[in-house]
Structure 1
Amino acid sequence: MTNLDRVGDSVDVTGSSATLQTLVENHRAFLRFLERRVGSRDTGEDLLQEAFGRAVTHAHALRDGESAVAWFYRLLRNAVIDHYRRNAAAGSALERFASELPESVPPPEVADQICACVSRLAATLKPEYADALQAIEVKGVPVKEYAAAKGLTANNAGVRVFRARQALRAQVAASCGTCADHGCVDCSCGRPGS
Structure 2
Amino acid sequence: MSGEVSFDCVLAAWSAHEREVLDFLAHRIGERATAEDLLQEVFLKAMRQGKGFCELDNPRAWLFQVARNAMTDHFRRSRPHTALPETLPAAAPEERAPVDELDVCVARNLVYLTEADRAVIEACDLQSLTVSAFAEREGLSLAAAKSRLLRARERLRASLVRHCQVRFDSGTVCCHKPPPEGSH
Q: What TM-score, normalized to structure 1?
A: 0.39
Q: Which has the higher helix share?
A: 1
Structure number with greater CO (CA < 8 Å, separation at least 6) is: 1
Q: Higher Cα Rg: structure 1 or 2?
A: 2
